[in-house]
Amino acid sequence: MTESRAFPRFPAGFVFGAATASYQIEGAAREDGRGPSIWDTYSHTPGLVANGVTGDIACDHYHRYPEDVALLRELGVDSYRFSIAWPRIVPDGSGPVNPKGLDFYARLVDELLAAGIEPAATLYHWDLPQALEDRGGWRVRETAERFAEYTAVVAGHLADRVPRWITLNEPWCSAFLGYSVGRHAPGAREGRGALAAAHHLLVGHGRAVEALRAAGVREAGITLNLDRNLPATGSAADRAAVVRADTQHNLVWTEPLLAGRYPHTEEETWGELITGQDFRRDGDLALIGQPLDFLGINYYRPIVVADAPHREPDPALRTATDNRYAEVRLAGARHTAMDWPVVPDSFTDLLVALKERYGDALPPIHITENGSAEHDEVSPDGAVHDRDRVAYLRGHLTALKAALDAGVDVRGYYVWSLLDNFEWAFGYGKRFGIVRVDYDTQRRTPKDSYHWYRAMIAAQRD
Ligand code: IFM
């Protein structure tokens, strides 16, 4: 069998892309009027990010974007998903707009279009202006309003050239890693604060969709990191733990967005933390549940869930993620450098289950991220023979095709990530790129996975 025969085949018009995010690659943290974000504050706080690194320089994409767009053109992708740094556009979170920030994204978009690549812009990939966090961050409704204003500014500037817009990336991480687990900026460990953040993120999404529609964009959507939660055993306790995990990871987003309701399992999941939800207002569900042109899904791994006692003995310290479940290591599976199990079938299962649950209310799907961090090594010939990443991508694209064959309307796939980058609290040690970045020299080296993905895209056009 030839190599190209082994590639899964996708329908004509299926979008292949690559994705990145502003704070993870741009650097230039204090240049051209960019204000501080919560990730600047978090990464500069000693002890929070592995090896004490920051995104100050990252991949220096702010200066090297022409080289990175050339890599995308050579890769043959249809689309490039990047994110816009809110603090470059509105440095203080509200008030004056920074024209140099807008100019940077206009230049990037023009470079992409000249290379024949469709831009797909994410408005919020976690770099909240610090000034807004100082006023309560996502715990307060005002942040959703400021997000809508910023969206209107950016869309007013770029809507004519950017066809696909994503309001939020993985709001689960913003709300729960940011305000409950404390492993993402702003590093809070709260109960109701995290639940209020989840709600205000959704309100911000709804207000941003309104702003995108007013600007006349072609496609508006949101990206969720949905989980495929599996019970560790068949016990009733483990199955109940899966319901709680599903509620927090999936239903808290999909129910308001796709079904116009809050999850019916929220009280058994959060107990007193969710009672008397004073952050919810009449009309919010209609705002949040506006029709979308697509749903973005980021998918990496299944999660095996077991019942677990409360981790906090003191109820006063109870956080929104302390809802009696624990993740269990999946025996027998290969694990990536993130220690995530590789189970491609779970990708098919997640998508099919979503279709079964929401039926026609499910908009077309774009897989806005999928990929793996591996223990890459540079060979003596200078290449990176990342066979595990190639196997991961092949497995997941094959699983994705199985979901299409089962009737799920998936329109696109973006590999995460174009470049090795700042992997949040893990720093630069975890490499997700299909292009290696040498952080001392900023030299880019396409890995074997880049060449494999390029050949896979080319084979679709044979
Ligand atoms: O690097 C992140 C990205 O920012 C959001 N989705 C998951 C990726 C890998 O952890």
Q: How far is the centre of ligand 1, averaged over its atoms, from the C-alpha of 84 (Å)?
A: 15
Give φ, ψ of 435 to 5 degrees: -125, 125
Structure confidence by residue, pLDDT tens digits, 310-333: 666 566 778 998 888 999 999 999
CB 255 near ligand 1, within 6 Å? no
Going from N- to C-terminal start, the domains of the chain cover: 15-460
Please name which of 168, 178, 196, 199 lies closest in space to residue 288, comparing C-alpha atoms: 199
Separation of CA 140 from chain center: 22
Separation of CA 49 from chain center: 19
Asked if 20 and 120 touch (Cβ cutoff 8 Å), the reply is no
Helices (H), 378-440: 387-405
Of all protein residues, whose CA lies closest to atom 10 belonging to ligand 1? 423
Is 412 exposed, middle or buried (CB count within 10 Å of its CB: 0-12, 13-18, 19+)?
buried
Cα–Cα distance for residue pair 398/77, rounded to 1 Å: 18
Catalytic residue among 111, 118, 255, 369: 369
Of all protein residues, whose CA lies closest to atom 9 belonging to ligand 1? 423
Residues in the chain: 462
Tokens of 85: 């740094």
Give the position, in ligand 1's atom list, of the atom nearest the Cα of 173: 5
Separation of CA 318 from chain center: 26
Name the pLDDT band for 6 (thresholds 50, 70, 90).
confident
Q: How far is the centre of ligand 1, averaged over its atoms, from the C-alpha of 178 (Å)?
A: 14
Q: How far is the centre of ligand 1, averaged over its atoms, from the C-alpha of 299 (Å)?
A: 10
125: three-class secondary structure by DSSP? coil
Neighbours of 427 (CB within 10 A): 16
- Asked if pLDDT for residue 438 goes beyond 60, the answer is yes
CB 127 near ligand 1, within 6 Å? no
Structure confidence by residue, pLDDT tens digits, 43-80: 999 999 999 999 999 999 999 999 999 999 999 999 99
DSSP bridge pairs for 18: 80, 415
Would you state the pLDDT for residue 317? 75
Give the position, in ligand 1's atom list, of the atom nearest the Cα of 169: 5
Give the position, in ligand 1's atom list, of the atom nearest the Cα of 373: 9
185: three-class secondary structure by DSSP? coil
CB 416 near ligand 1, within 6 Å? yes
CB 224 near ligand 1, within 6 Å? no
Asked if 215 and 289 touch (Cβ cutoff 8 Å), the reply is no
What mean pLDDT is predicted for residues 216-237? 98
The tokens 């079904």 sit on which residue?
Answer: 259
CA distance readout (Å), 400 to 224, 260, 262, 341 = 17, 27, 29, 17
DSSP bridge pairs for 438: 443
**Ligand 1 pocket mutation pick from 24, 127, 430, 432 by most atoms within 8 angstroms of CB:** 432
CB 373 near ligand 1, within 6 Å? no
Separation of CA 187 from chain center: 18
Structure confidence by residue, pLDDT tens digits, 184-202: 999 999 999 999 999 999 9
Q: How far is the centre of ligand 1, averaged over its atoms, from the C-alpha of 423 (Å)?
A: 7
Q: How far is the centre of ligand 1, averaged over its atoms, from the C-alpha of 125 (Å)?
A: 9
Cα–Cα distance for residue pair 204/148, rounded to 1 Å: 6
Give φ, ψ of 159 to 5 degrees: -60, -30
CB 388 near ligand 1, within 6 Å? no
- Asked if pLDDT for residue 159 goes beyond 70, the answer is yes
CB 420 near ligand 1, within 6 Å? no
Would you state the pLDDT for residue 290? 98
Name the pLDDT band for 1 (thresholds 50, 70, 90).
very low
Catalytic residue among 118, 133, 170, 190: 170
Strand 118-124 vs strand 79-83: parallel, antiparallel, or unpaired?
Answer: parallel
CB 21 near ligand 1, within 6 Å? yes
Name the pLDDT band for 93 (thresholds 50, 70, 90).
very high
Is there a catalytic annotation at residue 369? yes
- What single-letter DSSP state applies at residue 192? H
CB 423 near ligand 1, within 6 Å? yes
CATH superfamily of 15-460: Glycosidases (3.20.20.80)
Cα–Cα distance for residue pair 306/240, rounded to 1 Å: 9
Q: pTM of the predicted model, to two decimals?
A: 0.98
In the chain, the amino acid numbered 335 is H
Structure confidence by residue, pLDDT tens digits, 279-307: 999 999 999 999 999 999 999 999 999 99
Give φ, ψ of 63 to 5 degrees: -100, -25
Average pLDDT, the chain: 96
Give the position, in ligand 1's atom list, of the atom nearest the Cα of 416: 8
Q: How far is the centre of ligand 1, averaged over its atoms, from the C-alpha of 422 (Å)?
A: 9
Give φ, ψ of 101 to 5 degrees: -70, -45
DSSP bridge pairs for 304: 230, 328
Structure confidence by residue, pLDDT tens digits, 119-155: 999 999 999 999 999 999 999 999 999 999 999 999 9
Is there a catalytic annotation at residue 377? no
Of all protein residues, whose CA lies closest to atom 2 belonging to ligand 1? 423
Would you state the pLDDT for residue 309? 76
Q: What is the largest CA-CA distance in the chain?
A: 63
Q: In the chain, pLDDT over 90 holds for what percent of residues?
A: 94
Tokens of 405: 């064959």
What mean pLDDT is predicted for residues 335-357? 98
Give the burial string for 362-384 (b: 16+ CB within 10 Å, else e): bbebbbbbbbbbbebeeeeeeeb
Q: How far is the centre of ligand 1, averaged over its atoms, from the C-alpha of 281 (Å)?
A: 31
Would you state the pLDDT for residue 2? 40
Would you state the pLDDT for residue 324? 84
344: three-class secondary structure by DSSP? coil
Give φ, ψ of 244 to 5 degrees: -65, -40
CB 133 near ligand 1, within 6 Å? no
CB 166 near ligand 1, within 6 Å? no
Asked if 305 and 245 touch (Cβ cutoff 8 Å), the reply is yes
CB 19 near ligand 1, within 6 Å? no
CB 254 near ligand 1, within 6 Å? no
Structure confidence by residue, pLDDT tens digits, 408-434: 999 999 999 999 999 999 999 999 999
Q: How far is the centre of ligand 1, averaged over its atoms, from the C-alpha of 300 (Å)?
A: 9
Q: How far is the centre of ligand 1, averaged over its atoms, from the C-alpha of 113 (Å)?
A: 25
Would you state the pLDDT for residue 446? 98
Asked if 418 and 68 touch (Cβ cutoff 8 Å), the reply is yes
Asked if 64 and 3 touch (Cβ cutoff 8 Å), the reply is no
